Amino acid sequence: MKNRWSVPAPVVTALLVTTAVLSLSLAGCASTPVPNEQLAVANAAVVRASSTSTSESAPAELSIAVNKLAAARSATASGDQDRARRLAEQVVVDAQVAELHAQAVRSRKAAQESEEAARVLREELSRKKPS
């Protein structure tokens, strides 16, 4: 079968298939952009969570966030933008978990110190009462 340009049908078919494959490949690349915004938010969350208090009170939780941020950057470098975006979103949550865990530890310590101060005050008051 000949077309109007006198090109054999198998060549036309091969060109059409190649064009279709390239179009789909480019569409796939265009649909998943590099998650720069999510990575920036994730990085900011880790920086915010990386206080001395959090490093001391919630090192495991903070380490999870830091490791996932590294994995997100690695996924971006390897072209897996969907995975990078998911990891970046998880980093934000993990960093918040680290901050909240550290806050809970500080609150628990403050409560214990208040209880101890109240106990000492009660002892002082009971010693000074006239019998």
Q: pLDDT tens for residues 24-79?
A: 555 555 567 999 999 999 999 999 999 888 999 999 999 999 999 999 999 999 99
**Half-sphere exposure of residue 6: CA atoms within 13 angstroms, side-chain side:** 0
Residue range(s) defining the domain that contains residue 56: 34-128
Nearest to 39 by CA among 2, 72, 4, 8: 72
pTM: 0.67
Identify whether residues 27 and 43 lie together within a single domain: no
Identify whether residues 42 and 60 lie together within a single domain: yes
- Cα-Cα-Cα-Cα torsion 64, 70, 72, 78, nearest 10 degrees, comes to -150
Q: Are 42 and 88 in contact (CB under 8 A)?
A: yes
Number of domains the chain contains = 2
Identify whether residues 94 and 57 lie together within a single domain: yes
Residues 6 or more apart whose CB falls under 8 angstroms from that of 81 comprise 32, 33, 34, 35, 75
